[in-house]
Amino acid sequence: MGKELLLEIGTEEIPAAFLPKALKDMEAIFRKELATHRIPHGEIRTLGAPRRLLLAAKDIADRQEDQLVEKLGPAKRVAFDDAGRPSQAALGFAKGQGLAIEALCTVTTEKGEYLCARKEIVGAPTDGLLPAIVTKVITEIPFRKSMRWSDLDFRFARPIHWILALFGGQIIPLTIAGIESGHQSRGHRFMSPDAFAVSGLDDYLARTRERFVIVDPAERKRIIAEEIAKAAAAVDGRVFTDEALLDEVTFLTEYPTVVCGSFDPEYLRLPREVLITTMMSHQKYFPVLDAKGALLPHFLTVNNTLARDPAVVRRGNERVIRARLADARFFFEEDRKVPLERRVEGLQKVVFHTLLGTSYEKVVRFQTLAARIAGRIAPDLTAQVERAAWLAKADLDTQMVCEFAELQGIMGREYALLAGEDAIVARAIHEHYLPTAAGGDLPETDVGAIVGIADKIDTICGFFGVGLIPTGTADPYALRRQALGVIAIILNRGYRLPLPELLDESLAILGPLAKRSPAEIKADVLEFFRGRFENQLISQGHPYDVVDAVLATGAGDLVLALKKIQAMAAFKSHPDFEPLAVAFKRAVNITKDFPGGAIDSACFATSEEKELYAAYQGIRRTVEGHLEAGDYPAALTALAGLRKPVDAFFGAVLVMDKDERVRLNRLALLGAIAALFHGVADFSRIVTEA
């Protein structure tokens, strides 16, 4: 059994959003360091709260594991002469390794026999290594943002106030940012701020709990969930659950307590999303619902202290929410004084991007594109699409959205309904922003889907057009999310919208704003979409080689590409699949430099090529018919009928015949067969054993 290690970094309050990742990174760095230093260990845990990051590890070995190191020297034939005497090369190698020539051994490798020096490195005591290891753990946690304080040349998420570092109950000596490590921690900032000594993890957990600190995030989360549920039930309601908010308040508190407050029921006349956003996004309060899911005039707040008088805390929170809701009602009422239609003109004063004009100009662009898309897939919806696109960004000119940016689209929908707009148009104003995150909700109406595609395509083409293209580490305009949104909508709705044509139309509308040629922009955007589509498909479990093979033949029509991939993945289990893939690769390799030509059946000299041509002729129209109908499983099944004649052809026929006429005719036959396969996928990209 080894010893226990306990490390706590005590700080000013670290932002809640930083903590979960910091704890994972802290553990990962420590694991890597132990592995690098060959130190066996047991379970590693990381816990944390706003003022502390804790790492605990069991069964840390007292010493490093011993290591046998082998180093190859000169070849044996160089190391010794014919009489077996060591050469200068052998003597020099032995001296360099600190060994006598007799201590060297000989090993056999793929290249022959070589001298080898084998040395056993005895493991060093762990306690002598831990100061450097722990220092690295503390200094290399990669925070999203870090800061310096005082005159120190050191950065961390927030200033460090204490470092608790113990190994087997003994202090690990180190100094970071002017703070010497010790055996003391501290309790809750307000309820028990004094320092106290600890001897190990169990002692630490008990003493911190006594001092109003619950270090385990999972336990704090469970307590919060239970307490808000009880508080909601006390007012005959249930909690409006939100996992993200629950996680956030978990890392905002060390000792969570819950208070239920109320607000004037008159505010329930505001749109539901306004109330929820005001409570959750701005105040970190949990809304309360009745049995039917309607909002009640109550909220739940999670505090970081045990209040002496909960009524005082409740009244304080009620004053805050009352002021916020009063502002929201004022904005709502003021916004309604100006019709949504008139607010579109106000977008002329809202800059979308300095290189791409105003939001008004963007609306004009994607309204035009949306109308063209509607003309292709839903002509009867064109008028609604144009209207929804025209009003889609109007709420950016409202006070409510200026104050609550997360309500864009939602307020547009609400104001449109109040103005008497068509319900589908109003709904599309909100839906065109969807999805707002990977795996998020998608538009449920064609109008919302079409406007959303047009808006996103215009954004992508616009930024690519002015050279603002995402890099491996930066995507400031969220173009990857926009592209994934387009892909998700098209696949979800089953739209037959070839991307190349869609981009041509968008770039034509963009016109002179583009700083590069349309052909260059189109090529880059298509490759950008292909990359997003490929990554998405592989992450969903589709075989990578099948995805590559299908997309190599074109990814312009996403719906058809997905159907091909699904068919190919299923066909991989067919007994003829791999032999066909191998044969196709041979055909592609042989014909890769062949410019093409007509097949002359009179030129066939062997029965095998005649039979292959007959088989090709027999299935060509069938395969082409299935491909045109999008029935790729049937097309692949038909192609499987070529396996035997293809195998026989390659087994008996010399394609590169000396007679040019015969050679070109055989190449033409193989080229025609390869083109037929290419209607589904580039089989040469399939990974095979052969």
- CA atoms of 679 and 155, how far apart (whole Å): 57
Q: Which whole number is the average pLDDT over 536-554?
A: 91
pLDDT band at 409 (very low <50, low <70, confident <90, very high): very high
Average pLDDT, integer, range 670-688:
85
Angle at 119 between CA 34 and CA 108, to 5 degrees: 110
- Is pLDDT above 90 for 37? yes
pLDDT of residue 492: 96
**Whether residue 113 is found in the same domain as residue 129:** no
Tell me the C-alpha distance between 437 and 426, whole Å: 22
Q: Are residues 312 and 246 in the same domain?
A: yes
Long-range contacts for 336-343 (Cβ within 8 Å, ≥24 apart)? 336/415, 336/418, 339/419, 340/391, 340/394, 340/395, 340/412, 340/415, 340/416, 340/419, 340/421, 341/391, 341/394, 341/419, 343/394, 343/395, 343/397, 343/398
- Quote the pLDDT of residue 311: 92
Whole-number pLDDT of residue 689: 66
What does the pLDDT read at residue 321? 95
The confidence score (pLDDT) of residue 335 equals 95
- Same structural domain for residues 156 and 48? yes
Query: What does DSSP assign to residue 227?
Result: H
Q: Could you tell me if 175 and 267 lie in one domain? A: no
Alpha-carbon distance of 647 to 574, in angstroms, equals 17
Average pLDDT over residues 61-84: 89
Regarding whether 670 and 575 lie in a shared domain, the answer is yes
The residue that leads in pLDDT, 683 or 369, is 369
State the pLDDT confidence band at 378, using cuts at 50, 70 and 90: very high
Q: Is residue 647 predicted with pLDDT exceeding 90? A: no
Distance from C-alpha of 581 to C-alpha of 589, rounded to nearest angstrom: 12
| Distance of alpha carbon 330 from alpha carbon 164, whole angstroms | 51
Q: Which residue has the higher pLDDT, 201 or 578?
A: 201
Residue 104's CB: how many other CB atoms inside 10 A? Answer: 19
Residue 344 falls inside a structural domain: no
Q: At which of 163, 194, 210 does a domain end?
A: 210
Residue found by looking up tokens 């839903």 in the block? 378
How far apart are the C-alpha atoms of 332 and 324, rounded to whole Å? 12
Provide mean pLDDT across the span 521-547. Answer: 94
Q: What is the mean pLDDT of residues 81-99?
A: 88
Q: pLDDT tens-digit profile of 432-487?
A: 999 998 888 999 999 999 999 999 999 999 999 999 999 888 899 999 999 999 99
Looking at the fold, whether 160 and 142 belong to one and the same domain comes out as yes
Residue given tokens 């069991």 in the structure block: 58
Report angle CA 31, 36, 37 to the nearest 5 degrees.
Answer: 100
Q: In this structure, are 132 and 197 located in the same domain? A: yes
Rounded to the nearest 10°, the torsion over CA 646, 650, 656, 657 is: -100
The percentage of the chain sitting over the pLDDT mark of 70, rounded to a whole number, equals 100
User: Model's pTM, two decimal places?
Assistant: 0.80
Determine the pLDDT at residue 57.
97
Banded pLDDT at 102 (limits 50, 70, 90): confident
Query: Do 501 and 373 fall within a single domain?
Result: yes
SS3 289: strand
Are the CB atoms for 462 and 510 separated by under 8 Å?
yes
Same domain for 515 and 391? yes
Count of structural domains within the chain: 5
Give 562's pLDDT tier (boundaries 50, 70, 90). very high
| Mean of pLDDT over the chain | 93
* CA 37/CA 60 separation, integer angstroms: 12
**Is 316 inside any structural domain?**
yes
Do 391 and 533 have their domain in common? yes
C-alpha span between 338 and 651 (Å, rounded):
80
> Which segment of 34-43, 238-247, 524-533, 681-690 scores lowest on mean pLDDT?
681-690
Q: What is the pLDDT of residue 383?
A: 97
Cα–Cα distances in Å, from 426 out to 38, 418, 429, 530?
63, 10, 5, 33
Residues 156 and 9 in one domain: yes
* Residue 325, pLDDT score: 95
Residue 151 lies in a domain: yes
pLDDT of residue 30: 98
Q: How far apart are CA 665 and CA 668, in angstroms?
A: 5
25 band by pLDDT with thresholds 50, 70 and 90: very high
The boundaries of the domain holding residue 159 are 3-63+125-210
Q: What is the pLDDT of residue 68?
A: 85
Tokens found for residue 445: 């109406």
Report the C-alpha gap between 104 and 101 in whole angstroms: 6
In three-state secondary structure terms, 555 is coil
- Residue 113, SS3? strand
Q: How many of the other CB atoms lie within 10 Å of CB of 148?
A: 12
pLDDT average, residue stretch 301-327: 93
Distance CA 98, CA 108 (A): 22
Share of the chain above pLDDT 90, in %: 72
Q: Give the mean model confidence (pLDDT) for residues 93-119.
A: 88
Q: Is the pLDDT of residue 284 over 90?
A: yes
Q: Is residue 178 part of a domain?
A: yes
List the one residue out of 529, 396, 408 whose CA is nearest residue 461: 529
Tell me whether residue 271 is in a domain: yes
Residue 573 has pLDDT above 90, yes or no: no
> How far from the centroid of its chain's Cα atoms is residue 197's Cα?
43
Q: Residue 402: how many CB atoms within 10 A of its CB?
A: 14
CA-to-CA distance for 231 and 270, rounded, in angstroms?
24
Report residue 298 as tokens: 């109550």
CA–CA–CA angle 68, 71, 75 (5° rounding): 140
Q: What is the pLDDT of residues 586-631, one digit of tens each?
A: 777 787 777 777 888 888 889 988 998 999 899 999 999 999 998 9
**pLDDT for 165 beyond 80:** yes
pLDDT for res 1: 72
Q: Do 87 and 81 contact (CB within 8 A), yes or no?
A: yes
In angstroms, the CA 572 to CA 680 distance is 13
**Contact criterion met (CB below 8 Å) for 173 and 131:** yes
Q: Which of 183-197, 342-356, 467-481, 643-657 bottoms out in mean pLDDT, i.e. has the lowest?
A: 643-657
The answer to the question of residue 450 being in a domain is yes
Separation CA 467–CA 477 (nearest Å): 12
Q: How far apart are CA 458 and CA 676, in angstroms?
A: 36
Last residue of a domain, one of 187, 210, 233: 210
pLDDT at 119: 87
20: left (phi over 0), alpha (psi -120 to 50) or beta: alpha
Q: Give Cα separations from 139 to 161, 176, 201, 462, 622 (angstroms).
A: 15, 8, 22, 41, 66
Q: Rounded distance, CA 423 to CA 341, Å?
A: 15
Same domain, 51 and 192: yes
For the cut 90, the answer to whether the pLDDT of residue 642 exceeds it is no
Residue 299 lies in a domain: yes
Last residue of a domain, one of 177, 210, 243: 210
Closest residue by Cα to residue 429 from 437, 417, 441: 417
For residue 655, what pLDDT is reported? 83
Domain assignment present for 556: no
